[in-house]
Amino acid sequence: MTASRIRITAVALFIAAVGGACGSGGDGGRLTGAKGTYASKVDPICKELQNKIGELGENPEQQAKDVEEAVGRMKSAEIPRDDEAIAKTFIAAMENLYLALQDVDQSRRVNDQPRAQKAVATAKFNSEAAAKAAKSYGMVECAQTL
- Nearest CA to 142 out of 121, 125, 127 is that of 127
Q: Are residues 35 and 103 in the same domain?
A: yes
Q: Are residues 25 and 38 in the same domain?
A: no
Predicted confidence pLDDT, tens digits, the chain (146 residues): 554 444 454 444 444 343 444 444 444 456 778 899 999 999 999 999 999 999 999 999 999 999 999 999 999 999 998 789 999 999 999 999 999 999 999 999 999 999 999 999 999 999 999 999 999 999 999 999 99
Q: Are residues 65 and 53 in the same domain?
A: yes
Q: Are residues 84 and 25 in the same domain?
A: no
Q: Are residues 25 and 73 in the same domain?
A: no
Find how far residue 37's CA is from the centre of its chain: 15
Q: Are residues 35 and 2 in the same domain?
A: no
pLDDT of residue 34: 84
Q: Are residues 39 and 100 in the same domain?
A: yes
- 49: Cβ contacts below 8 Å, ≥ 6 apart: 66, 67, 70, 146
Q: Are residues 44 and 6 in the same domain?
A: no
Q: Are residues 12 and 58 in the same domain?
A: no
pLDDT of residue 84: 94
Q: What is the CATH number of the domain that holds 116?
A: 1.20.120
Which residues span the domain enclosing 85?
31-143
